Structure 1
Amino acid sequence: MTVRVTVGQVAVADDRAANLAMVADAFGAAARVRSDLLILPEYASGYHRQGVGSEHAEPLDGPFVTALRRHAREHGVAVVAGTTLPGSGSVGPTGRQRAVNAVVGVDATGALAGVYRKVHLYDAFGFRESDLLEPGPADAPPLTLRVGDLTFGVITCYDLRFPESARRVVDAGADAIVVPAAWVAGPLKAEHWRTLLQARAIENTVVVLGVGMAGTGVTGRSTLVGPDGVVGLELGEAPEYRTVDLDAEALAAVRERNPSLANRRYAVVPRDTPPR
């Protein structure tokens, strides 16, 4: 009844070849401990502190996702990882075509299980992600990935600040929420990260796995929170692999004691356009 998960808190370069080597190393680490699922951060295919845009984008049949699928098949390990996809052709205020911040799920056979296109772009704390990226549709079906006895739902980084995003993947059947992130460092940012991960776990009675990118300008601090809000794993800022076992029976026991999902009286309905 347990699912073994390897958290890959990795540093990501602005170099495609280096990131492909990082992916190979991460899969090797997961396979050595016989993990069922590997989680890599947001923008795992390429990252630049000044922004990620169309120059980092590649299609789903490009080298990065192809490598994920190959390693998943060879090692028998499912993976969730951030990437950047080409956009629809929309142009941002800089005059450049915008790309899409995405997360892919690949099962242990190497099949592409689905894609989540980040809905909430990081236009906060002095950053404007929407200058270079276009948001995914709010009404797109949630990305979920079944691994063993658990269903993992996916949101990304800034989405964590919007409880509706987490609730929507729980409504789609998620027992655990995966949050790949490149959580930008700054005053109180690490505190916000930890608090929000705990809140999403408690209010949804799910396991929450926040997997942060390591490196300059980001916080790292990958964190596992149980459905009771207890922090079971919390890394520092340096690159590191850690592996945890998730127990479906323990999750069910928490939900029996705390039936808040069954007791709620409101549903989450996506908006066509964000409120002004």
Structure 2
Amino acid sequence: MRTALCQFTASTDPEENLRAIEALAEQAASEGARLAVFPEAAMARFGIPLGPVAEPLDGPWANGLRDIARRHRLTVVAGMFTPADGGRVANTLLATGPGVEAAYDKIHLYDAFGFSESDTVAPGAKIVTIDVDDVRVGLATCYDVRFPELFRAHADAGAVISVLPASWGAGPGKLAHWELLTRARALDATVWVAAVGQAPPEPDADIEERTKAPTGIGHSALIGPDGSVREQAGTAPGLIVADVDVDEVQRVRRAVAVLDNRRL
């Protein structure tokens, strides 16, 4: 399945971000992609009040994303914010395209490294997969990557690829964490991982310098089910389009049957 990893820097303006998504989706479709994955918080970056930008799944931003997917005849996954109970929002992935309509609310909230996502964001509770051209895809978001059980749940549900939109926090050692964790999740669930991050707001940003709001470090990557990096971006906005070999998952699972060999 031809898959596009669409790395960009979201602004605080949802309409501006839709235009950026449109341009990348058009390019992805022109290169034959069937699935285009955009970062977490593609609707609006972190570091601003989220309540005022949150919209329901039938609101104008979500409908704009649906229009983009329809025009370009591909499935799009992108991060947005939807209203939740108690004055908080949900950190939501909207997946939409031909025969696809689903939403995943981030389960594991980023209460780490001095940031407290749960102050303003309500956690999700449901594991979500979608089918794109008969290929099952699991949905996860950013901090979820630190929890291997979610990716194994994707595999148990029949997924051969997990998509991981993110807006990774900068800081000492955080790039190493990102690279290690994305590869580990692919290897211990024997799935492909399409990890798509926000590019940092400043092109020459020092991603080893800690910032409070997680506004991205780039380095989107496509990881094979054997844990090897097949494609990787740097810090600049850009597009990676690559073929995901669905059959490779079964070959790896026959060689390293970690799912079948589980005891706990």
Q: Write the deviation string for residues 122-145 of structure 1: whole angstroms up to 9, x where unpaired.
A: 1100101111111112xx2x2112
Matched with 2:71 is: 74
- Please, which of 120, 137, 140 is the counterpart of residue 132 of structure 1? 120
- Please, which of 103, 108, 120 is the counterpart of residue 108 of structure 2? 120
Shift of 1:52: 5.0
Alignment size in residue pairs: 251
> In the aligned structure 2, how far is the partner of 1:39 from the partner of 1:71?
13
Counterparts of 1:56-67 in structure 2, within 5 Å, are 56-67=53-64
Matched with 2:167 is: 182
> In the aligned structure 2, how far is the partner of 1:52 from the partner of 1:183?
18
CA 1:52–1:208 in 2, change beyond 3 Å: closer, same or farther?
farther
SS at match of 1:54: coil
Matched with 1:205 is: 190
TM-score, normalization by structure 2: 0.91
Shift of 1:51: 4.6
- The alignment status of 1:42 with 2:34, answered yes or no, reads no
> In the aligned structure 1, how far is the partner of 2:55 from the partner of 2:24?
21
Matched with 1:232 is: 230
Shift of 1:107: 2.6
Identity percentage of aligned residues: 40
> In the aligned structure 1, how far is the partner of 2:200 from the partner of 2:53?
18
CA 1:80–1:52 in 2, change beyond 3 Å: closer, same or farther?
farther
SS at match of 2:239: strand
Shift of 1:10: 0.9
SS at match of 1:43: coil
Matched with 2:26 is: 28
> In the aligned structure 2, how far is the partner of 1:229 from the partner of 1:149?
23
Shift of 1:210: 0.7
Shift of 1:108: 2.3
- The alignment status of 1:192 with 2:189, answered yes or no, reads no
Shift of 1:252: 1.6
Matched with 1:274 is: none
Shift of 1:218: 1.8
Unaligned runs of 5+ in 1: 91-96, 267-276
Which deviates further from its counterpart, 72-81 or 182-191?
A: 72-81
Shift of 1:148: 2.4
- The alignment status of 1:147 with 2:135, answered yes or no, reads no
TM-score, normalization by structure 1: 0.87
Unaligned runs of 5+ in 2: 202-214
Which deviates further from its counterpart, 208-217 or 79-88?
A: 208-217
Contact 1:149 1:248 in 2 (8 A): no
- The alignment status of 1:108 with 2:98, answered yes or no, reads yes
The residue type paired with residue 19 of structure 1 is: N
> In the aligned structure 2, how far is the partner of 1:248 from the partner of 1:167?
17
> In the aligned structure 2, how far is the partner of 1:202 from the partner of 1:82?
25
Contact 2:12 2:48 in 1 (8 A): no
